[in-house]
């Protein structure tokens, strides 16, 4: 589905700086919407948890329906490339426990992280304490990460989505979400009425402003929008599913079966590695697995023992780069290690001949060609001499390298987005 218009940024329409500015404007819209929803006041937010006012759920589900319908319809019409959208990854247990703790924190603090900003902006002093708490909690998490990392990364299911998990077409799931939300809208109205009759009035008054009297069954506009969204996701969602096989709306991977996206790349010779390093054309990490001597190591190497390597790859603790070059003394041991990195979804290769080859080809000066040499030999000599000078810090000839080999890796999906 290349050639789709959206999303503009991930398909390269504008640069990183413009993105920050657009994000600021989007944030203004977000904050304005939160304020107009009444979410700048903690009383309005928590009253859902006492059954008095389900404003939070109404706003949230309506927003989800709107945005979801928009995504389904635009991708159905071929305007949106779902493959370029940042899809939240699933880590089942961490999200379950994280959600429970966050929910508890929500009712204790009276805000969630986003609404606390809008709350502070409307003059709520208590919201400032919530804002102060969030970095504090993040810090506690960062300090405890060595203990929690394994749990936090367990049951990793990649970009699993409801459609891919259920094995159902996107439009069916979207219709299901519409019906679920519609049913919830009707149900909470009844609950509110019951709670007010039963508790409020006899006990204490409901917090916040006057209770809402909105019956979704009585507003023609709401019906119309709801129906339009429903019809839209059925028609265009079906078109999407019919066209895209398999649909790239997320990919379901069973718990703990990582997505095997990575692979083992052909080994690099010392000269080839040197060319990549000199040109800086690709982001690579050089991982030296030697435990004893660090002699003749490639500049910029990270030292990780062979035993730790897979563990740290699993915990996402290796630097985020395009490809990993494994280095050992002779280049034998790493040949077996590369596939285990690839199993964790990484692109891995190794330095052929290890540091021994590096020492011989790069760190020692090349032999001067003698008598009756071809032009190619001279060029090779000049390149090797300049590479040698570059890595041994001998200030000699200006650097001349041939084009470095290109490691064929898939484009990295932009990480971040939402909340990471």
Partner 1 sequence: MTETLVLRTNEGIDPQLHIWGWDVAGYLFLGGLVAGLLFFIGLHMRRSGARRALPTSVRWGAVAAPLLLGAGMFLLFLDLDLKLHVWRFYTAFRWTSPMSWGSWILLLVFPLMLVQVLLIAPESIRSLLVRAAPASWAASMAERGWNVVASLSILTGVALGIYTGILLGASVARPLWSSAALGPLFLASGISGAAALLALLERDHAARAWFTRADVWALGAELALIGAFFVGHATSTRCHIEAIQLFLGGAYTAPFWGLVVVVGVAAPLLLEWLELRGRVVVSAAVPVLVLVGGLALRYVIVAAGQAAGVGGDAPLNTFF
Partner 2 sequence: MDIAVKEKPYWNPYIAGFFLGLVLLASFLLLGWGLGASGAGSRFGAWLSYLVVPDHTLGLASWSSYFEGGAAPLKDSIVFGAVGVFLGGLIGALTAGRYKVSVGRGPRISVPARFALALLGGTMMGFAARLGRGCTSGQALSGGAELALGSWVFMFAVFGGAYAFAWFVRRQWL
- Residue pair 31/41 in contact (Cβ under 8 Å)? The answer is no
Q: Does 24 bind partner 1 (CB under 8 A)?
A: yes
Residue in 2, 3, 15, 123 binding partner 2, rule: CB under 8 A: 123
CB of 190 to partner 2, least distance (A): 16
What are the b/e assignments for 48-61, b being 16+ CB within 10 Å?
A: beebbbbbbebbeb
How is residue 384 written in tokens?
A: 């090797």
Burial call 14-30: b when 16+ CB within 10 Å, e when fewer: eeeeeeeeeeeeeeeee
Q: Which residues, 86 to 145, sit near partner 1 by CB under 8 A?
A: 121, 123
Is 29 a binder of partner 2 (CB under 8 A)?
A: yes
Choose, by CB under 8 A, the member of 76, 119, 331, 353 that binds partner 2: 119
Nearest approach in angstroms of CB 121 to partner 1 is 7
Give CA–CA dist 271/366, Å, rounded. Answer: 12
Contact segment (CB under 8 A) with partner 1 among 218-226, 252-260, 261-269, 280-288 equals 280-288
Q: Is residue 108 a contact residue for partner 2 (CB under 8 A)?
A: yes
SS3 72: helix
Pair 151, 93: CB distance under 8 Å: yes
Q: Is 244 in the site for partner 2 (CB under 8 A)?
A: no
Pattern of binders to partner 2 over 53-92, x per CB under 8 A?
Answer: --x--xxxxxxxxxxx-xx--x-----x---xxxxxxxxx
Q: Tell me which stretch binds partner 1 (CB under 8 A): 19-27, 151-159, 165-173, 368-376.
A: 19-27
φ/ψ of 81, rounded to 5, equals -100, 105
Distance CA 138, CA 105 (A): 13
Q: Which residues contact 108 (CB under 8 A, 6 or more apart)?
A: none
Q: Which CB atom, from 3 or from 280, has the smaller least distance to partner 1?
A: 280
Judged by phi (left if over 0) then psi (alpha if -120 to 50, else beta), residue 345 lies in left
DSSP bridge pairs for 123: none
- Does residue 107 interact with partner 2 by CB under 8 A? yes
Cis peptide before 329 (omega within 30 of 0): no
Instruction: Give the one residue of 319, 339, 365, 417 binding partner 1; rule: CB under 8 A.
Output: 319
Task: Say which residues have a Cβ less than 8 Å from residue 57's Cβ, sequence separation at least 6.
Answer: 48, 184, 188
Strand order in the sheet with 323-327: 302-303, 284-288, 323-327, 348-350
Answer with the entry of partner 1, partner 2, none that 133 interacts with (C-beta below 5 to 8 A by kind): partner 2
- Judged by CB under 8 A, which of 143, 256, 257, 283 binds partner 1? 283
Pick from 3, 12, 15, 135: which binds partner 1 (CB under 8 A)?
15
CB of 363 to partner 2, least distance (A): 27
Taking CB under 8 A as the binding criterion, the range among 13-21, 44-52, 91-99, 145-153 that sits at the site for partner 1 is 13-21
Does 254 interact with partner 2 (rule: CB under 8 A)? Answer: no
Residue 209 vs 319, nearer CB to partner 1: 319
Residues that bind partner 1 (CB under 8 A): 15, 17-21, 24-25, 121, 123, 277, 280, 283-286, 299-304, 319, 321
């Amino acid at each position: 589905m290349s050639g789709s218009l959206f999303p503009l940024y991930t398909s390269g329409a504008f640069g990183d700086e413009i993105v920050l500015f657009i994000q600021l404007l989007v944030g203004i819209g977000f904050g304005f919407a939160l304020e107009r929803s009444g979410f700048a006041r903690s009383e309005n937010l928590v009253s859902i948890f006492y059954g008095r006012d389900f404003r939070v759920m109404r706003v949230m589900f309506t927003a989800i329906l709107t945005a979801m319908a928009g995504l389904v319809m635009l991708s159905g019409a071929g305007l949106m490339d779902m493959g370029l959208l940042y899809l939240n990854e699933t880590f089942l247990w961490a999200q379950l426990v994280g959600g429970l703790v966050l929910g508890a924190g929500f009712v204790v603090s009276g805000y969630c992280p986003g609404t606390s900003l809008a709350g502070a902006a409307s003059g709520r002093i208590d919201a400032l304490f919530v804002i102060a708490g969030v970095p504090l909690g993040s810090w506690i998490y960062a300090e405890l990460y060595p203990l929690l990392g394994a749990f936090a990364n367990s049951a990793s299911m990649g970009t699993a989505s409801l459609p891919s998990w259920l094995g159902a077409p996107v439009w069916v799931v979207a219709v299901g979400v519409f019906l679920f939300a519609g049913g919830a809208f009707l149900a909470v109205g009844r609950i509110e009425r019951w709670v007010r009759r039963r508790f409020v009035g006899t006990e204490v008054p409901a917090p916040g402003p006057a209770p809402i009297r909105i019956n979704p069954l009585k507003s023609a506009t709401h019906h119309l929008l709801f129906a339009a969204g429903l019809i839209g996701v059925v028609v265009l969602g079906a078109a999407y599913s019919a066209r895209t096989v398999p649909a790239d709306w997320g990919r379901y991977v069973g718990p703990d079966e990582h997505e095997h996206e990575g692979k083992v790349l052909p080994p690099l010779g010392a000269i080839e590695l040197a060319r990549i390093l000199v040109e800086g054309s690709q982001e690579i990490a050089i991982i030296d697995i030697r435990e004893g001597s660090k002699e003749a190591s490639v500049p910029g190497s990270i030292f990780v023992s062979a035993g730790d390597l897979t563990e740290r790859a699993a915990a996402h603790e290796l630097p985020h780069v395009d490809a990993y070059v494994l280095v050992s003394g002779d280049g034998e041991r790493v040949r077996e290690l590369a596939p285990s990195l690839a199993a964790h979804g990484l692109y891995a290769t190794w330095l052929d001949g290890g540091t021994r080859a590096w020492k011989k080809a790069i760190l020692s000066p090349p032999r001067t060609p003698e008598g009756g040499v071809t032009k190619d030999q001279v060029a090779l000599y000049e390149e090797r001499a300049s590479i040698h000078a570059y890595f041994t810090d001998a200030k000699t000839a200006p650097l001349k390298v041939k084009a470095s080999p290109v490691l064929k890796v898939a484009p990295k999906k932009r990480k971040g987005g939402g909340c990471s």
